[in-house]
Chains A and B, each alone.
Chain A
């Protein structure tokens, strides 16, 4: 086997394991989110996407879809990025629920709203990554949150460029979640660097 695990060579079993990681990480993050807003939050089935860059902007509802992206650099024994992304309307609903505001207040985000979003991102990313860390026994650190509100393609260009330095494809473990009638829809995305999948798979005893 090649010293370096290439994304082209990931087999069905590898994909299943990465999906399971998404399942557990997003499950924890969803629970944290649900506790925060004191409502039940449903979670979709995680998708493992290995995408060429030109396909990448189609995730998150299309390249021009307006989203709030909260990005974390992930370092330690796994390197990469973690993103928590929400449709803009969902971000409003979430902030309003959390801050006890009128649920359909869609006016501009205040400074306070933005710092609430950052804090939500922090808790979500923390829950996601700590379950991954527990599962693999690997040390994983997250940076402070970085927030941007813009077109999905533009927001995804940042992790994509990181991938572009080492390969021609990006791997995303993506989980959608939703909260029923008040409609909080969003995505958890884990974007490990190529070497880090090998580390993850190795730790889980999948490859030597």
Chain B
């Protein structure tokens, strides 16, 4: 029986087939999924901010795109995954409130998504699919058995990427 493993905000978890990683109500944060398809080992981080080097208090590694990806990779390797086989899927990074100023807050979702992509690219991890941006929240479920990322939003049909 597959277990559903919940990942909170600024949190990360890993699992093996057949378990499912989920995070509920993702807004401006980004859900970063890493996956080794041949070992069926998966990791999910729910990051809040793009870059730990810009922040003084950066001890919670799951909070930042850069450090969270590093931790996921390490944990997955220790479970038997191979770094050169890892692929990624991304969701979130919405702009929940339409601020009509040049306020920094307005772009945080976008910046989170961009930073996540840049870091993955630098690590040579291919992004298979993404559902980022827009202005709505998402609940996501990653199935470590088949590599599908299910995305649920309010008022729309669920989709798989």
A residues whose Cβ falls under 8 Å from a Cβ of B: 52-57, 62-64, 66, 69, 71, 73, 146-148, 150-158, 160-162, 164-168
With A57-B24, A161-B108 as given contacts, are A154 and B9 in contact (CB-CB < 8 Å)? no
CA–CA, A54 to B108, complex, Å? 19
With a cutoff of 8 Å between Cβ atoms, the chain B residues found around residue A160 in the complex are 9, 29, 48
Q: Are A54 and B11 in contact (CB under 8 A)?
A: yes
CA–CA, A157 to B98, complex, Å? 14
With A66-B154, A161-B48 as given contacts, are A154 and B94 in contact (CB-CB < 8 Å)? yes
Q: Mark B4-22, 1 if CB is under 8 A from A, else 0.
A: 0000111100000000000
B residues whose Cβ falls under 8 Å from a Cβ of A: 8-11, 24-29, 48-49, 55-57, 59-60, 63, 94, 96-99, 103, 105, 108, 135-139, 154
Which listed residue, A55, A64, A148, touches B139 by the CB 8 Å rule? A64
In the complex formed, the residue of A with least CB distance to B9 is A53
With A53-B8, A157-B29, A167-B57 as given contacts, are A146 and B97 in contact (CB-CB < 8 Å)? yes
Query: Could you jot down 7 A-B contacts, CB within 8 Å?
Result: A57-B8, A66-B154, A150-B27, A155-B96, A164-B49, A164-B63, A168-B63
With a cutoff of 8 Å between Cβ atoms, the chain B residues found around residue A147 in the complex are 97
CA–CA, A66 to B136, complex, Å? 12
Q: Are B49 and A165 in contact (CB under 8 A)?
A: yes
B118 → chain A, closest Cβ, in Å? 19
Q: Are B60 and A157 in contact (CB under 8 A)?
A: no
With a cutoff of 8 Å between Cβ atoms, the chain A residues found around residue B154 in the complex are 66, 150-151
Q: In the complex, given contacts A54-B11, A56-B8, what are 13 additional A-B residue pairs having Cβ atoms less than 8 angstroms apart?
A: A53-B8, A53-B11, A57-B9, A148-B97, A150-B96, A151-B137, A152-B25, A154-B137, A157-B48, A158-B97, A158-B108, A160-B9, A161-B105
With a cutoff of 8 Å between Cβ atoms, the chain B residues found around residue A146 in the complex are 97-99
